[in-house]
């Protein structure tokens, strides 16, 4: 998106505000489907948790994507957005059996990652198709907060528990139609991911009625200049060949499924903030913006680095700033970051703000959650209103004393 368009959005809708470029989402989706063009049956489940605005859900559905959900509420949002039940997979963790039953009653694909729950569900609903989430004990992602395939992860059924898993399936006579893994976000090495895939293929051989194999996602995108990103084209070539060979040996074609979230929406997003003031101390120049970790927590939570650009003064002389928020906590977005000269009132754009940014926003310090805007067909469209004071009180029950 051009600077002038972003500045117009900040002027029209106020700041802070999230902006998503629909055309970037579409190009990422096409890049992924093209990379796996050699697979006859491909299903891309968009991971709703990355960005669950209903207008974004409707847009990715229009592209042809299916949906990956982790809660009954996300399932309900997907249905409201128009996804068919057969195009929604539910992959929760640590939920109650009653929530699983509620989702199963909606008719979507169930994915279970707990042996105890698997046995309970299979005993009660042996005919309901179930996918099994395997933990391959392969750490293909980045730090431990976002890598979920390692041996101490709470996610998935350990590959070493396969004998017990098979016994449960045999005893309950349940219908296993899919097998799944997710190694975590920010895949750094394709060969490590392919190694995990081989473990999944070996597990898949144990089930005779599969219709799909789900390889999760976690594809890394670039956050800064010269940053590493997952080579989707190389992965597509290598995994497609191996998948087609497996299907040939299995005896029938299966669907290859993925669950990209960050890969589809991260680079589409911009978070626009206005500079409240410049504060110079003995050693640091602070650029103070009209937001904080209540709106944009990833730098503080994960140590994530988001490129920050002064779109009000793109040709200004670069200086070093620490960009901080207005929350009464340490909410530093960037330390000693080289940015074109900043003045009070300038608009700063945080890049790669499409995934896991608005979704983690809160009302801490009783601040309002920001608006969201979708850039589509050359124009801006408001897809979430900025909160008001009435929204803060909406679900509170005021007692009289």
Give the residue numbers annotated as catalytic, written as ranges.
328
CA dist., res. 69 & res. 179, Å (int):
16
CA dist., res. 221 & res. 186, Å (int):
7
CA dist., res. 220 & res. 262, Å (int):
8
Residue 171 tokens, joined: 């005893």
Contact 217, 182 (CB under 8 A): yes
Contacts of 77 (CB under 8 A, 6+ apart): 48, 52, 54, 57
Where do runs of H (alpha helix) occur along 139-207?
162-172, 190-204
CA dist., res. 59 & res. 179, Å (int):
28
State whether residue 259 is helix, strand or coil.
coil
Q: How far is CA 392 from CA 295, 357, 370, 383, in A?
A: 15, 20, 13, 19
Q: How far is CA 319 from CA 251, 281, 310, 329, 342, in A?
A: 62, 15, 11, 25, 8
Terminal CA-to-CA distance of the chain, rounded, Å?
53
Q: Which of 273, 264, 227, 267 is nearest to 351 (CA)?
A: 267
What DSSP state is assigned to residue 345? Answer: T
Question: In this structure, what are the phi and psi dihedrals at residue 381, rounded to the nearest 5 degrees?
Answer: -130, 120
Q: Which residue has the tokens 């009954």?
A: 72
Contact 210, 252 (CB under 8 A): no
CA dist., res. 80 & res. 340, Å (int):
44
State whether residue 169 is helix, strand or coil.
helix
Contact 325, 289 (CB under 8 A): yes
Residue 279 tokens, joined: 């504060």
């Amino acid at each position: 998106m051009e600077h002038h368009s972003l500045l117009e959005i900040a002027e029209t809708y106020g700041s802070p505000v999230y902006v998503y470029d629909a055309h970037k989402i579409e190009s990422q989706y096409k890049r992924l489907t093209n990379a796996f063009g050699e697979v006859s049956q491909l299903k891309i489940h968009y991971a709703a948790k990355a960005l669950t605005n209903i207008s974004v859900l409707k847009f990715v559905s229009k592209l042809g994507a299916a949906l990956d959900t982790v809660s009954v509420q996300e399932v309900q949002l997907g249905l409201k957005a128009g996804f068919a039940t057969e195009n929604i997979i539910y992959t929760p963790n640590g939920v109650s059996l009653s929530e699983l039953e509620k989702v199963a009653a909606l008719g979507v694909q169930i994915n279970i990652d707990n042996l105890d729950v698997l046995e309970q569900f299979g005993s009660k609903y042996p005919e309901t198709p179930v996918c099994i989430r395997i933990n391959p004990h392969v750490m293909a992602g980045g730090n431990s907060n976002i890598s979920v395939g390692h041996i101490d992860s709470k996610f998935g059924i350990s590959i070493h528990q396969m004998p017990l898993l098979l016994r449960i399936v045999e005893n309950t006579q349940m219908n296993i139609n899919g097998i799944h893994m997710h190694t975590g976000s920010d895949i750094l090495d394709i060969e490590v991911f392919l190694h995990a895939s081989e473990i999944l293929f070996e597990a898949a051989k144990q089930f005779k009625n599969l219709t799909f194999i789900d390889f999760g996602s976690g594809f890394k995108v670039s956050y800064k200049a010269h940053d590493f990103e997952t080579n989707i084209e190389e992965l597509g070539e290598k995994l497609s060949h191996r998948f087609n060979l497996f299907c040939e040996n299995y005896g029938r074609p299966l669907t290859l499924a993925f669950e990209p979230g960050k890969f589809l929406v991260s680079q589409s997003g911009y978070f626009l903030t206005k500079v409240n003031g410049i504060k110079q101390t003995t050693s640091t120049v602070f650029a103070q913006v009209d937001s904080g970790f209540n709106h944009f927590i990833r730098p503080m939570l994960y140590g994530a680095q988001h490129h920050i650009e002064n779109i009000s003064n793109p040709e200004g002389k670069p200086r070093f700033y620490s960009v901080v928020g207005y929350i009464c906590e340490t909410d530093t977005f960037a330390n000693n970051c080289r940015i074109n000269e900043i003045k009070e009132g300038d608009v700063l754009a945080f890049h790669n703000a499409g995934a896991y940014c608005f979704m983690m926003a809160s009302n801490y310090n009783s601040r309002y959650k920001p608006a969201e805007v979708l850039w589509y067909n050359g124009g801006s469209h408001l897809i979430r209103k900025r909160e008001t004071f009435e929204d803060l009180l909406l679900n509170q029950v005021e007692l009289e004393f």
